[in-house]
Structure 1
């Protein structure tokens, strides 16, 4: 399992890849439940970071799979 630091780095990397390669997906990042928690002081831990990374990865994967002209780089 990745450390929190590794997960932060992975989230940063995939977020930057989305902004550069798929800017049309950027609007969905801010709408994700993990981005806007429904509690006042959310706890950030490895599990939450992993879930957020996984949701970003699925967003890109699903988008790429449904776009025939996109090279599968992620």
Structure 2
């Protein structure tokens, strides 16, 4: 039986917005999961990174990280829905 690990969804409007460190850890975990178990999605990781602030404004806020994580999570969920045999 294959078990899929779905990271916890982050509410962007929550008063208990996760810290940058917590979000960075979640981003790292889902990125490693994608690279190890679904390497065919790795090619999209650089495209998804474009959702982060540009070099002209290098400060990354918790909301930016939450949106980035949400994008990664949605990409993985969509992929698994389209490929139920995995």
TM band (smaller chain): 0.7 to 0.9
- Counterpart of 1:2 in structure 2 is 18
Moved more, 52-61 or 40-49: 40-49
- Counterpart of 2:29 in structure 1 is 13
* Runs of at least 5 residues in structure 1 that lack an aligned partner in the other structure: none
Establish whether residue 69 from structure 1 lines up as the match of residue 85 from structure 2: yes
Structure 1 residue runs of 4+, over 3 Å off?
none
- Length-normalised TM-score, structure 1: 0.84
* Structural RMSD (CA): 1.4
Instruction: Look up the SS of the partner of 2:47 in the other structure.
Output: coil
State the distance in 2 between where 1:3 and 1:39 align: 22
Alignment of 1:38-49 (within 5 A): 38-49=54-65
- Length-normalised TM-score, structure 2: 0.73
